[in-house]
Structure 1
């Protein structure tokens, strides 16, 4: 497979290209990706249209495929364009930010020191130290990422424990964070599991679905029926969680 891709690149057909297609007066840019797949596919997300094709797929075949799905494509592009853009979160004393599905009050504390989480059954507060010249947004992002990594690690251990009931002996993968705009997580045999730190805004059940999804990839590195059967085993309510992520993911605060 690697040799085939290398020959393709050497022949002047890059694995990823920026292209566009015209529908009447509307020009639709898209990213064309070639890989060792057997079918044509497309997706629309916050970054626009991505079309994935087999290594030997031609531009003519690609454009015919896009035009065949033109109605679906235009509907999806318009739906994404109509979504409200994420609001820039202003780090000011008293601001409210969702953390693990619950409003958290930000308290900006002049001076040095460490950030502190103050939690009770009903309230959550983050005391954020701030010195002149310091970027409070950067500090808040770092605190949230550190909190996310600690929390995700515990959930990863939990779902590996559940997986061991039917698939014993699966080693614990490395865990790291990502800030990707269009993916909640990924799993690789080489780099382990990566989870989007912005998941920390969501309630536990939604985070658990993403963790379960990536843990299931340790058994099936695909999205086959066998993969979804592993997800079902780990997280029976995965369908509702996936739908909630799809509906609410675009509305997260911009930090």
Structure 2
């Protein structure tokens, strides 16, 4: 998939193309890309199963390349999401005794016969979730439903808490399962949070909640916005890094059926 976006760039001819791997911050997303310099007269973008690739003349300044990426960050994010949604996710088999990360601790899965109901047992070391299944084929669906319900309960509580702290109305909550976005905020539709955040420690979840609620006061990523976030989460930068690192370790438990593209939010 190629982009129609191109702009002029100064350059001189080189006999061979050269490639470098770089990253850039596009909003709240860190995007890796390959910069390929070759005998061309413009800067061009393309996105496919390999990710973002940028072609540029040999002497096009890096700031011109990055300026183009920043201007079209929304388009880049949308296309990357579309490609990732097409990529089949490798699913982990749900077995008795399976252990998953859960709020910074461990969730142990137990399987039993039943009517596709689940039973939570919270304890000091984490939690045990017993899935009473009609057939083994129902395990993934019942597990996802249980995790979503637990996430919704927790997220509502954290939204209510931090809405009071930030002195904003408590927004409507909806859940997503997008692969590259942890949250989004809209004055019209409310806050959307990725239910898979349940696999992460609560301070990381709280950072995402504060980030999205702060948009109800500043619908941008200006210094004023980050000052609001910092006032509630002084260590937000460390939590943001932790979120990105943990995002690469998510267990592949369920098929991703959501292709939501949020207007803002941290991605894995």
Question: Residue 201 in 1 paired to residue 204 in 2?
Answer: no
Aligned twin of 1:104 = 107
Q: Distance in 1 between matches of 2:124 and 2:146?
A: 21
The correspondence for 1:130, drawn from 130, 133, 136, is 133
Q: Larger relative CO (CA 8 A, sep 6+): 1 or 2?
A: 2
Q: Distance in 2 between matches of 1:24 and 1:61?
A: 14
Question: Residue 150 in 1 paired to residue 153 in 2?
Answer: yes
Deviations 1:81-119 (A, max 9, x none): xxxx98632211011011111111100111215211101
Aligned twin of 2:231 = 233
Structure 2 counterpart SS, 1:118:
strand
Aligned twin of 1:181 = 179
Change (3 A) 1:66 1:208: farther
Q: Distance in 1 between matches of 2:44 and 2:217?
A: 32
CA RMSD of aligned residues (A): 3.3
Q: Distance in 1 between matches of 2:119 and 2:62?
A: 51
Structure 2 counterpart SS, 1:128:
strand
How many residues matched? 198
Q: TM-score, normalised by structure 2?
A: 0.65
Question: Residue 116 in 1 paired to residue 109 in 2?
Answer: no
Q: TM-score, normalised by structure 1?
A: 0.68
The offset of 1:135, in angstroms, is: 2.4
Where structure 1 has 5 or more consecutive residues not aligned to the other structure, the ranges are 1-16, 29-40, 50-58, 74-84, 165-169
Aligned twin of 1:19 = 3
The correspondence for 1:171, drawn from 169, 172, 183, is 169
The offset of 1:171, in angstroms, is: 2.0
Where structure 2 has 5 or more consecutive residues not aligned to the other structure, the ranges are 7-15, 34-40, 46-53, 70-87, 254-268
Q: Distance in 1 between matches of 2:223 and 2:126?
A: 41
